[in-house]
Every structure is written in structure tokens, then in C-alpha cells.
Amino acid sequence: MKNSDYKVKADAKYLAKEILLRLKLMFPGHEGVMPLHSPVFHERSEELVIDCIRSTFVSSAGSCVTLFEEEVAKACDTEFCVSTVSGTAALQLAMRVSGVEPGHESLMPSLTFVATPNAASYLGAIPHFVDVDPQTLAMDPEVLRQHLMRCSTYRNGKLFNKKTNRQISSILAVHVFGHPADMRGLRAIADEFELRLIEDAAGALGTELEGRRVGSFGDLGVLSFNGNKLITTGGGGAIVTNSHDLADTARHLSTTAKKSHRWSFVHDQIGYNFRMPSLNAALGLSQIENLGDLLTAKRRIATHYHEYFKNFDEGSVLEQPKNSNSNYWLNNIVLDHSQGNICEKTIQELNYMGINARPIWTPMHYLEIYRNCPRTSLPITESIANKIISLPSSPYLSEYF
């Protein structure tokens, strides 16, 4: 071990202790491991799930699915919602109904969960990575615009990547940690280049931008209800949209593209078995009733983080973008530097201490499977990826102060 390694290890220990100290002060009386994000259930959750079981309609034919979809649409300021078995399925479905075809390229950040490029891959499309804005951690509209001006051209009214000769048909904007991307900027580019715009709002349910809920800015928005999200259905996801046609097509494709008939089996497209089961929707329904309270709790916790980390010397709490009201799904420290892999070492120390901290995702272009995808230069992505520590943000923590 070199001297500098000892130094970083000592620094990591110091940083972890500084963070732990603040967490102890922030949430006095909290005992045991502090998870990154736990869901909250009430008696109502048990009631609705039992009602669902007693009805015997636990699969997608059950009534809870439609009720849950109505509530999700409302929560996203959209007219329609189509629920799915996962956020990944919702992403794939959103891209499919957006006209993403095999051999197309989809513009998206490299700084995202692997489900985003995977959804493109499932359709035979190729992710095309774009750098992010250091404030939002989401795709930088100006970088995207400059890149498209340079690398793309129109052929028969369609946008093509000049270098790969592949059609570019969609932009996938990802809202990171609940904070909104610059949707006004991205919408302008989508319109200018005639691209479909999809919002990957997996962790951003309830987040507002300029007074409007995210999910409603793109042609389609995508949500996740995985166990670590603000609201969970066990596993699940949804598409939200204001387009009647897109919603209809998504719903049709999500139910094996079976033509509506009481007993016959005619399927007019290669569809999916993606519809959320009623059992899961019942759980979701019990929680989304509570969305307002959950958002209040999450924002209180975020304010708390800001207060207690004001005097933190080695980094700062990630702020929500201007004109936004984030759901603060996860609270994060952005370290001032990333020398000696200090970020990962600090996360390791924190986990030893019972604090389930974690880094941001490994950028997609670092993974072997997406190494050769087309991309902009990615300086912000590469710099920020080694500086972020996500910290415990469960809604229940609001009861500790």
C-alpha cells in the first residue's frame, strides 16, 4: 500500500464519520441499520390487498388496476396511465409505441440505470449517449443540440446519424434522484429535430417543474414502483401520457395485443404480457392515496439534510434545479473531488457502519455491453460519477425529528 492510499483510507474513514455524526444528530433515537429507502405501508395497504385476494381477481383482470392507473395519471398531471410489471417494461413499451424500431438510435444519458439502454436493446435499437448538466445530472439540452447539429442529417425527412447511418428517432430524458431534467430545453430540441421525447421518471413521481408534474412533459413518461421507490407495488411500473392514441396502443400491446373479445384468441401484433397484476395495483393504490403526505415527509427530510450538511467541508448536498419542486427521492452528497477513489471508499465505510449509502450508477459507456455505443464526449458524466454518495432517505425518517 502506497502512502497516498493510507491517506485516502484515512480520509474516507474521516468523511464517513463526519456523515454518520450528522445522521445521528438528524435522526436521534434511530437504531439499527439505516436503509437507503424503505417503503411505508399502513393498515389500508393490508385492507386493500386482502380485499383483492378475497375478490379472487388477483391478476390483471382485477378492478384495482384501473383504479390505480387513474390515480397515477392524476399524480402526473396526465390524462392516461398504463400500468406494467416493471419500470423496465414501461420503458420498452414507451419506446415501442414511440416508433423506435430495430436499428434505430435512441438519445439518452450514460448516467442512468441500466434499464434505460436495455429497453432500447430489447427493441433492437442502439443507445446513443449524451452528456449531462452538472446541476440537474440529467441530459444537457445544449450539449445535445450541438451534438445533433454536428453529427446528424436529414434523409427523406428523417434524422440520421451521419457516422453510423442509423436513424435517430427518440430522446430518453432521465430524471435523476427525483430531480427534474430541463424538460423545456429538451422539448425544444425534440420539436426542432422531430424526435419523440420520453421521460424516464422512474424515481420522480410527484416532482414538479414550473408547477407541473414530471411525466407530463414528454410524449410519454415512465414510472417505476419497485421496492426502493417512493411508492411501491412490489414490482411494477407505468406509462403516463396525454395522448389517447399512445395510451391505447400501449395498453393493447401490454396485453398480448389481443383483439378485444370475450373468449377468442386473435393477436394482431407481437405484443407483451406486461400488464400489472391487480394484487400489486392494490398495494400501490393504498400508497398513492398517501402521496401528499409522503412528499411532505420527503421534502422535510431534504431540508434537514441541507441544514445539517451546510458546514460539511468536503462536498455539498445536491440541490434541486431552479423552478422545481423535487420529490427528493434520494438525498446526495456531491464530493469536491474524487481522488484515490475516495467516494467508493467512503461508501464502503458507511456501509460497515450500518448506513446503506451507495454511489450513483456506473456510467453506461463504462460497461462492456455498452462500450461501443455512439456518444458525445462525456466529461461531466465521468467527473460526477465518482463524486456522489446517495444517503438514507426513507420517508419514515421524518418521524425522527
316 binds its own copies, rule: CB under 8 A: no
What track of x and - describes contact with its own copies for positions 279 through 308 (by CB under 8 A)?
Answer: xx--x-------------------------
Residue 73: exposure state from Cβ atoms within 10 A (0-12, 13-18, ≥19): buried
The span from the first CA to the last CA of the chain, in angstroms, equals 42
Decide: is 165 part of the binding site for its own copies (CB under 8 A).
no
The size of the chain, in residues, is: 401
Neighbour count for residue 297 (Cβ, 10 Å): 21
Contact between 56 and its own copies per CB under 8 A: yes
Report the C-alpha gap between 289 and 343 in whole angstroms. Answer: 38
Stretch touching its own copies by CB under 8 A, among 20-28, 41-49, 154-162, 166-174 = 41-49
Of the candidates 11, 18, 20, 41, which one interacts with its own copies according to CB under 8 A?
A: 41
Question: Using CB under 8 A, which of the segments 182-190, 262-270, 291-299, 305-313 binds its own copies?
Answer: 262-270
357 is a contact residue toward its own copies (CB under 8 A): yes
Residues near 281 by Cβ (< 8 Å), separated by ≥ 6? 52, 62, 64, 65, 67, 68, 69, 83, 233, 236
Q: Name which position in 160, 351, 353, 401 contacts its own copies (CB under 8 A).
A: 351
Angle between helix 63-75 and 43-55 (nearest 10): 140
Grid coordinates of 381 = 458524466
Out of 7, 155, 162, 267, the only residue in the binding site for its own copies (CB under 8 A) is 267
Pick the closer one to its own copies by CB: 124 or 292.
124
Which of these segments, 14-22, 163-171, 273-281, 328-336, binds its own copies (CB under 8 A)? 273-281
Q: Which 73-92 positions form the footprint of its own copies (CB under 8 A)?
A: 85-89
Decide: residue 165, CB within 10 A, 0-12 exposed, 13-18 middle, 19+ buried. exposed
- Nearer Cβ to its own copies (64/130): 64
Q: What gap in Å lies between CA 268 and CA 199, rounded to an integer? A: 28
Phi-psi region of 32 (alpha: psi -120 to 50; beta: other; left: phi over 0): left
- Contacts of its own copies in 212-241 (CB under 8 A): 226-228, 232-236
Q: Please give the Cα distance from 313 to 179 (Å, whole number).
A: 24
Minimal distance, residue 237 CB to its own copies, in Å:
9
37 touches its own copies by CB under 8 A: no
| 153 touches 160 (CB < 8 A) | yes
Instruction: Give contact residues for its own copies (rule: CB under 8 A).
Output: 38-39, 41, 45-46, 49-50, 53-54, 56-62, 85-89, 113-115, 118, 121-122, 124, 226-228, 232-236, 256, 258, 262-273, 275-280, 283, 344, 347, 351, 356-359, 361-362, 367-369
